[in-house]
Amino acid sequence: MSSESRCSSCGIPLKGEKSVDFKCPSCANVVMGRCGNCRDQSAKYICPECGFQGP
């Protein structure tokens, strides 16, 4: 996880052990990030390239 990664849902910088970054499950062209809080709340994220919506 780079020091500049941000949560794809809320935009805060990623830090802490529950934060993750991963390639978009659909297109694999964009690295998505998720903070622990948004992961716990199952907050929606959208890939800016292909429009895939998760969690």
**SS3 assignment, position 54:** strand
The span from the CA of 45 to the CA of 8, in Å, is: 6
State the pTM of this model: 0.78
d(C-alpha 30, C-alpha 21), whole Å = 10
What is the percentage of the chain residues whose pLDDT exceeds 90? Answer: 82
pLDDT score at 20: 93
Over 3-53, what HEC string results? CCCECCCCCCECCCCCCEEEECCCCCCCEEEECHHHHHHCCCEECCCCCCE
* Sequence spans of domains, the chain: 1-44
| Percent above pLDDT 70 for the chain | 93
